[in-house]
């Protein structure tokens, strides 16, 4: 497999850029083995940011992508889609967290920038060993179970049922209604709870 | 409630609990224990003759927190849905002593079943919505300064709801539990168990400021010459029309005093509250006929165990953990399991309804597809390395690993033979990686997080 890594360093407005010198991190990334392209941008998750990734994949013939930004919990799917939009397998991508695990928890700009470089170096080392992965599909049983028959359970059950799906509502007491049935009038409208 | 019972797409299973869940998103198998009702609800027409005729009438009604009485065969409350009675087996003399049997004799449809037993049923579903709600914080165990529950006229907010409710034990008249007299001076104490690290929970329960304002308003409008004292730390009215409602309580004459109550003790038939007014900077002693505590919301009993049974996580307080506090408030980390209402954290009715509709939309969105995409980063087994030791099987929190027998051709002087290997169900595997450290032969690998990849990261950092 070809080793052509692109590194994209996000500033997240000032969330990252105030503590990490993102331009320096991008320049550093260019010196890493396998990296052929690196840049920084204000909001990598934005439409222009994603377009930057897609365009670079095509123009630079990138085979692997590293995005140094926030937690994968936040934007892993976003960037995986962007990478696929550029024409390579979405799993030829690594996300490096330089926000939650770096800029948000450090003050010293020099040290934080050095840590971001370390994290990017690790990400690049990993992505060079990534393999394209395939997703598979499973069937769906279009019937829902709601556990608990209070206000929340009744509302959820009614909404799903109204959409035309079967719902089983399981309640531990002998009646649905939950705590609501014990209430008198309810704020702020003072209408009855039943 | 009635709309739920009447909806042709909803099947109600009451007096039941979930005991086992297997499977995965789109394909769950849920085992439900239906508890014995001792009444055949298919035959019962809900006429209520059995309830009227039951001779065991003096059981403290749990629904009214023991402030009212009920018979052994009863409905949870008169407007229960479904509107059918069931027998409380601990108090029914037919079931405990084999005496009586009156309900069977008077039932016009022959629906009584003294030999009824718990039943297990299994249902196949594609999605699960958790809506197990909350319990009221057990203040009697924590607040000695409020009497540990030994003063009958110190009650919780939910007990006050029963007193003020038209369907409650006093038909909506606010009367003291101790002597049935109308209290004139009622004190309300907020944040009992909430925002109290030492005796309760660190969080705000969110609904108490508003229901206490409602209680104070009801006292002022229902009882002539009454006083409603509200002892508070802060007044939090962040909701549409909430601040206006609080002002309405103030305008009705509720007296808000900023301060914690440090002690309650009886003097004659009154209760004395030792407290302070922190805005005036002075100590206070207030006399009240009744005290109402705004107790914290805590997760429903058994919620943590249920989360374990189904296979998703809870937070430090035992509320169900959402996948992301802002962006995925109705999802869990387990695909196909969604959250609605106070099981996820304290909230009031408007927020509960909104979250429940959100969870419903997530379910409907999922049901709009015929097939679901599975996680690609799952564990895989290198069968040439797997020794079939089975150590990984009990470690998997999702039950995704099982042992399978495979046939080997043999060779090197051996004939064909069979051996065990671990097999991953890629639909169940969530890619958590818990199985990897258990594998002594490094036969297990997590796609996207292979040993080779992780070592290369460490090398990049350290070498």
Based on the structure, what is the number of domains in chain A? 2
Among the candidates A127, A160, A179, a domain finishes at A127
Burial class (CB in 10 A: 0-12, 13-18, 19+), B119: exposed
pLDDT of residue B412: 82
Q: Do A185 and B133 touch (CB under 8 A)?
A: no
Same domain, A36 and A106: yes
Residue B120 has a pLDDT of 98
Report CB contact under 8 Å: A194, B1: yes
Residue-number span of the structural domain to which B338 is assigned: 304-367
Chain-chain contact of B129 with A146 (C-beta, under 8 angstroms): yes
Residue-wise pLDDT for B218-242, tens only, equals 999 999 999 999 999 999 999 999 9
Structure token digits, residue B50: 């059995």
Q: Are B246 and B215 in contact (CB under 8 A)?
A: no
Are B271 and B418 within one domain?
no
Does A1 have pLDDT greater than 70? no
Q: Cβ(B71)–Cβ(B51) under 8 Å?
A: yes
Q: Over 80: is that where the pLDDT of B10 sits? A: yes
Task: Note the pLDDT tens digit of each residue in B295-316.
Answer: 999 999 999 999 999 989 999 9
Angstrom distances, CA of residue B275 to CA of A60, B54, B209, B231, B284: 73, 48, 19, 9, 5
- C-alpha torsion sign, points B113, B115, B120, B121: negative
% of chain B with per-residue pLDDT over 90: 92
Are A105 and A44 found together in one domain? Answer: yes
pLDDT at position B185 over 90: yes
Inside any domain, residue A25: yes
Q: Is the peptide bond before B430 cis (omega within 30 degrees of 0)?
A: no
CA distances (Å), B237 to each of A56, B208, B234, B352, in order?
A: 51, 10, 10, 16
Indicate if A85 and A178 belong to the same structural domain: no
Q: Mean pLDDT for chain B?
A: 95
Report yes or no on B324 lying in a domain: yes
**ipTM at complex level:** 0.90
* B193, part of any domain: yes
- Residue A135 in domain: no
A112 plus A159 within the same structural domain:
no
Asked whether residue B223 falls in the same domain as residue B182, the answer is yes
Q: Which of A127, A175, A185, A190 to mutate to test the interface with B (most CBs of B within 10 A)?
A: A175
Q: Are residues B143 and B168 in the same domain?
A: yes
Total domains, chain B: 4
The per-residue pLDDT for B397 is 80
Domain limits for position A152? 143-192
Residues B393 and B259 in one domain: no
Query: How many other C-beta atoms lie within 10 A of the C-beta of residue B276?
Result: 17
Taking only the tens place, the pLDDT of each residue in B19-51 is 999 888 999 999 999 999 999 999 999 999 999
Q: For the residues B159-183, what does the mean pLDDT come to? A: 96
Domain stop point among B88, B117, B146: B117
Looking at the structure, tell me whether residues B321 and B424 fall in a common domain.
Answer: no
Q: What is the CATH number of the domain that holds B49?
A: 3.30.70
CA angle (B167, B171, B174) in 5-degree steps: 120
Q: Give me the residue from A118, A144, A183 closest to B161, CB to CB.
A: A183
Q: What is the mean pLDDT of residues B66-71?
A: 95
Tell whether A20 and A45 lie within a shared domain.
yes
Lowest mean pLDDT among A40-49, A182-191, B357-366: A182-191
- Boundary (domain end) residue, out of B241, B268, B298: B298
User: Is the domain of A28 the same as that of A70?
Assistant: yes
Cβ of residue B210 closer than 8 Å to a chain A Cβ: yes
List of residues 6+ apart from B316 with CB closer than 8 A = none
- Provide the CATH number for the domain around residue A105: 3.40.50
Q: How far apart are CA B143 and CA B273, in angstroms?
A: 14
In a domain, A92, yes or no: yes
Tell me the average pLDDT across B253-259. 98
- Establish if A132 belongs to a structural domain: no
**What was the pLDDT predicted at A157?**
98
Q: What is the CATH number of the domain that holds B432?
A: 3.30.70.20
Residues B342 and B358 both lie in one domain: yes
**CA B13 to chain CA centroid, nearest Å:** 17
Domain assignment present for residue A166? The answer is: yes
Contact B356 A171 (CB under 8 A): no
- Establish if B419 belongs to a structural domain: yes
Q: Quick one: pLDDT band at residue B411, thresholds 50, 70, 90?
A: confident
Same-domain pairing of B313 and B292: no
Q: Which residues of A touch B132 (CB under 8 A)?
A: 147-148
Tokens 């003294």 found at: B114
Q: How far apart are CA B8 and CA B69, in angstroms?
A: 35
For the entire predicted model, the pTM comes to 0.85
CATH number of the CATH domain containing B275: 3.50.50.60
Same domain (yes/no): B148, B80: no
pLDDT at B243 over 90: yes
User: Does B457 score more than 90 pLDDT?
Assistant: yes
Locus of tokens 């003291």: B176
pLDDT on residue B414: 82
Of residues B27, B245, B427, nearest to A188 (C-beta): B245
A23 and A95 both lie in a single domain = yes
3-state secondary structure of B400: coil
**The pLDDT of residue B398 is above 90:** no
* Assigned domain for A138 exists: no
Does residue B21 sit within a domain?
A: no
Q: Is B356 found in the same domain as B312?
A: yes
Q: Are residues A62 and A123 in the same domain?
A: yes
Question: Is A145 in Cβ contact with B123 (below 8 Å)?
Answer: yes
Helix/strand/coil percentages in chain B, nearest 5:
25, 30, 50
Query: How many whole angstroms separate alpha carbon B322 and alpha carbon B332?
Result: 5
Query: Which pLDDT score is estimated for B277?
Result: 97
B19 domain-assigned: no
Question: Shortest CB distance from B15 goes to which of A121, A152, A173?
Answer: A173
Domain shared by A29 and A88, yes or no: yes
Q: Is A118 found in the same domain as A182?
A: no
Residue B52 domain-assigned (yes or no): yes
Q: Please indicate, yes or no, whether residues B362 and B386 belong to a single structural domain of this protein.
A: no
Dihedral pair phi/psi, residue B446, rounded to 5°: -105, 120
Q: Is residue A137 part of a domain?
A: no
Yes or no, beta carbons of A148 and B343 under 8 Å apart: yes
| pLDDT at residue B351, as a whole number | 97
Is position B452 within any domain?
yes
Judge if A77 and A119 occupy the same domain.
yes
Pick the closest to residue A51 from A76, A83, A20, A25 (CA basis).
A83
Contacts (Cβ under 8 Å, ≥6 apart) of B369: A140
Query: Helices B349-367 & A151-162, crossing angle to 10 degrees?
Result: 30
B165 vs A183: CB contact, 8 Å cut-off?
yes
What is the percent of chain B where pLDDT is above 70? 100
Residues B314 and B294 in one domain: no
Among the three residues B298, B325, B347, which one is the final residue of a domain in this structure?
B298
pLDDT of A191 > 90? The answer is no
pLDDT, one tens digit per residue, over A62-118 is 999 999 999 998 999 999 999 999 999 999 999 999 999 999 999 999 999 999 999
Comparing CA positions, the residue from B426, B422, B384 lying closest to residue B405 is B422
Q: Is the CB of residue B372 less than 8 Å away from at least one CB of chain A?
A: yes
Query: Do residues B288 and B219 share a domain?
Result: yes
Q: Is the dihedral of CA B26, B32, B37, B42 positive or negative?
A: positive
Query: With 80 as the cut, is the pLDDT of residue A194 above it?
Result: no
The verdict on residue A159 lying in a domain is yes
Say if residue A46 is in the same domain as residue A102.
Answer: yes
Pairing of strands B59-60, B69-70: antiparallel
């Amino acid at each position: 497999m070809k080793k052509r890594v692109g590194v994209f360093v996000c500033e997240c407005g000032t969330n990252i850029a105030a503590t990490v010198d993102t331009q320096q991190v991008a320049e550093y990334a260019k010196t890493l083995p396998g990296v052929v392209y690196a840049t920084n941008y204000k909001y990598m998750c934005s439409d222009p940011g994603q377009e930057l990734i897609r365009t670079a994949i095509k123009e630079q013939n990138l085979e692997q992508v590293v995005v140094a930004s926030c937690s994968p919990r936040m934007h892993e799917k976003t960037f995986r889609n962007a990478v696929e939009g550029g024409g390579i397998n979405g799993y030829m991508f690594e996300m490096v967290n330089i926000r939650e695990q770096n800029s948000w928890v450090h003050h010293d700009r020099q040290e934080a920038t050095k840590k971001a470089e370390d994290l990017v170096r690790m990400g690049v080392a990993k992505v060079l060993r990534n393999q394209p992965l395939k997703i598979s599909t499973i069937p769906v049983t279009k019937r829902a179970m709601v556990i608990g028959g209070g206000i929340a359970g009744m509302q959820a059950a009614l909404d799903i049922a109204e959409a035309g799906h079967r719902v089983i509502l399981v309640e531990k007491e002998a009646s649905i209604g939950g705590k609501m049935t014990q209430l008198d009038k309810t704020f702020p409208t003072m209408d009855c709870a039943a | 409630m009635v709309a739920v019972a009447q909806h042709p797409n909803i099947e109600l299973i009451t007096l039941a609990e979930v005991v086992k869940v297997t499977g995965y998103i789109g394909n769950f198998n849920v085992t439900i224990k239906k508890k014995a009702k001792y009444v055949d609800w298919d035959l019962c027409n809900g006429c209520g003759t059995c309830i009227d005729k039951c001779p065991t009438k003096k059981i403290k009604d749990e629904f009214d927190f023991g402030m009212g009485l009920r018979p052994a065969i009863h409905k949870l409350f008169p407007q229960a849905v479904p509107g059918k009675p069931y027998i409380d087996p601990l108090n029914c003399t037919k079931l405990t002593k084999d005496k009586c049997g009156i309900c069977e004799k008077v039932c016009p449809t022959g629906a009584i079943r003294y030999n009824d037993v718990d039943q297990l049923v299994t249902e196949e579903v594609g999605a699960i919505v958790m809506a197990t709600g909350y319990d009221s914080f057990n203040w009697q165990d924590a607040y000695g300064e409020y009497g540990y529950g030994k003063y009958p006229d110190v009650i919780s907010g939910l007990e006050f709801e029963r007193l003020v409710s038209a369907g409650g034990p006093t038909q909506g008249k606010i009367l003291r539990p101790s002597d049935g007299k109308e209290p004139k001076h009622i004190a309300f104490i907020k944040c009992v168990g909430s925002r109290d690290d030492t005796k309760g929970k660190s969080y705000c329960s969110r609904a108490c400021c508003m229901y206490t304002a409602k209680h104070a308003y009801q006292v002022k409008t229902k009882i002539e010459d009454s006083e409603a004292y509200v002892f508070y730390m802060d007044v939090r009215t962040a909701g549409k029309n909430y601040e206006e409602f609080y002002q309405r309580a103030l305008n009705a004459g509720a007296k808000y005093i900023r301060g914690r109550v440090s002690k309650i003790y009886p003097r004659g038939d009154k209760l004395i509250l030792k407290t302070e007014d922190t805005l005036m900077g002075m100590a206070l002693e207030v006399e009240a006929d009744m005290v109402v505590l705004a107790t914290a919301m805590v997760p429903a009993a058994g919620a943590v165990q249920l989360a374990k049974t189904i296979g998703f996580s809870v937070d430090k307080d035992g509320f169900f953990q959402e996948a992301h506090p802002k962006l995925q408030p109705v999802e869990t980390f387990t695909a196909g399991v969604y959250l609605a209402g106070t099981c996820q954290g304290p909230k009031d009715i408007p927020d509960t309804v909104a979250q429940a509709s959100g969870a419903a939309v997530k379910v409907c969105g999922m049901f709009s597809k015929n097939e679901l995409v599975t996680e690609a980063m799952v564990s895989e087994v290198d069968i040439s390395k797997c020794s079939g030791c089975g150590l990984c099987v009990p470690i998997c929190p999702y039950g995704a690993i099982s042992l399978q027998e495979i046939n080997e051709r043999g060779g090197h002087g051996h004939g064909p033979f069979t051996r065990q290997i671990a097999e991953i169900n890629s639909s169940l595997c969530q890619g958590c990686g818990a199985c990897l450290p258990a594998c002594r032969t490094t036969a297990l690998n997590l796609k996207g997080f292979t040993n080779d990849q992780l070592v290369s990261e460490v090398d990049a950092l350290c070498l």
